[in-house]
Structure 1
């Protein structure tokens, strides 16, 4: 049975009615509104506001605004005059039912029409986009064809000129020799002193260039980020880890621009991470605040989530500790030697939070994951053994209780 809203307010002028309905803490996405010329319904379970309007209104020009905890309606009147009441004063249930059914039917028709118009608009936009794309592709093909035609024409012209030049040279060689005038400053048939006669069809060979001087080129190799040998490393995972780290550093720039009111050092996530040193002094809430601000600047830095999880553990915010440790483990992928220690710390912190919540099976899984990363850690091994003993003891007690019953 819905709870009817009665603490609404309304005002009117000669031309319009304004209604304000409190939403009782409901979010805008949870509010369902049905509005026609004679009926208005605002449904946000378990509350319901329903109004059978005193006179018809212009539904096409009506507006509704939802926000700040209220829904405000502006309903233009079809007849310009003041109403005696906002709603009908009749108690005729049959008439109200008829008005309600007509309103719902009209509302469904309106929604169907809007959906159809939206689909037609999307179809028209798709057609326009396809047509524009085809036009651009055609223009591109035409432009490439013009370039090809121009290049072909240029090549044809150059080839014709070369053929004409070859033909002229051949004709000049095939002409009969006549008496040629002697060169100026000498007698006929004389040659310049020191010039070697060149036979017909031969060309003087150019002197080859001298050999280049020798030299040494210094080559230096970029050192590998990971110390493991290449044959033993997992190169794709390591490259993926380096790429994620680079993206995290780039994201700091855009986030810092949104927080211009902070001091220069406060816009540096590494500085804020160091401010988390108040964890060592026992100011766990201060450390949480520093890590939270650093995460606003760089939400891709797993160390911030892991360190904040440790602070939440101290403050007994166990569910938040699990969330932060899980986020740190999510960001610490792919698993490579460079982030092994960080993965082990995050797993232990999440396992500790599970154990504090008496979820020992989940906590043991995290401790065993940390042991697989650091199998030589005796403290981790001892903690995991204690958790197993607790689980086995609980199971034994349950079996004893079942046997006694």
Structure 2
């Protein structure tokens, strides 16, 4: 059962559905063509005037299908559908088939383009997410190094220097007080390099006595008639 009604803005068509039908219906909406195919239900019409196919829609409910055709020009149509004979109807079907093929082709191209754009946007988003993550890690490392340097500087500034025990000896007693610095003796000047001359003015000479072996050799030489045979050795003069 099909119910059709129109207003100045649209045409409403209600098609009763069989409860046993579970297949998704095939709905085609063109500027001057309408088809609803859900076996065993088949509804096809050629419109008398043009509609806005992008604004028109079809909704499937449990017991019926509701088709809303939005008119391009507002107003009541005297006749909503064309009356065609068998030959004209076959010619129209061929033209509509070509239009459907062309429309499906364009729809597939647009769907592929939307998928590519969506995939490209997801990849770009993932790259941007990874870039932001690396930047955050780098910033965290720089802040950690900067904070470590600040802490080291503060520790060095708070550290108290050790007192010099030579200049400030530890005080004995309960309360600590500032000790009087000790006076260190001046260091003696370092002796420079130079030369010292030593002169011996004495004429004293001391003869070292000869050994017995050397005296025996001289006596043997003198007995042989050497050039110094008549000369007496110092040791002989002393013995005489």
TM-score (norm 2): 0.59
Unaligned runs of 5+ in 1: 1-6, 187-405
Q: Does 1:153 align with 2:146?
A: yes
Match of 2:45 among 23, 36, 51: 51
Matches of 1:14 and 1:181 in 2, distance apart? 111
The equivalences for 1:3-402 within 5 A come to 7-25=1-19, 27=21, 29-91=23-85, 93-157=86-150, 177-178=166-167, 180=169, 182-184=171-173
- Mark the CA change 1:88 to 1:181 in structure 2 (over 3 Å): closer, same or farther: closer
SS in 1 for 2:77: coil
> Contact 2:23–2:38 at 8 Å: present in 1 too?
no
Matches of 2:22 and 2:60 in 1, distance apart? 6
- Mark the CA change 1:155 to 1:110 in structure 2 (over 3 Å): closer, same or farther: same
- Mark the CA change 1:24 to 1:152 in structure 2 (over 3 Å): closer, same or farther: same
> Contact 1:28–1:66 at 8 Å: present in 2 too?
no
Matches of 1:44 and 1:181 in 2, distance apart? 109
- Mark the CA change 1:99 to 1:164 in structure 2 (over 3 Å): closer, same or farther: same
Deviation (angstroms), 1:10 = 0.9
Q: In the TM superposition, what whole-angstrom CA distance separates every residue of 1:34-59 from its partner, at most 9, and x where no partner exists?
A: 22122211112233211122333222
- Mark the CA change 1:123 to 1:182 in structure 2 (over 3 Å): closer, same or farther: same
Q: How many residues align?
A: 175
Bigger Rg, which one: 2
Unaligned runs of 5+ in 2: 176-240
SS in 2 for 1:61: coil
Greater relative contact order (Cα < 8 A, sep 6+): 2
> Contact 1:38–1:99 at 8 Å: present in 2 too?
no
Matches of 2:48 and 2:168 in 1, distance apart? 125
- Mark the CA change 1:180 to 1:69 in structure 2 (over 3 Å): closer, same or farther: closer
Matches of 1:60 and 1:131 in 2, distance apart? 31
Deviation (angstroms), 1:160 = 6.4
Matches of 2:37 and 2:15 in 1, distance apart? 11
SS in 2 for 1:60: coil
Q: 1 or 2, which has the higher helix percentage? A: 1
SS in 2 for 1:124: helix
Please give the root-mean-square deviation of Cα atoms over the aligned residues, in Å. 3.3
- Mark the CA change 1:136 to 1:182 in structure 2 (over 3 Å): closer, same or farther: same
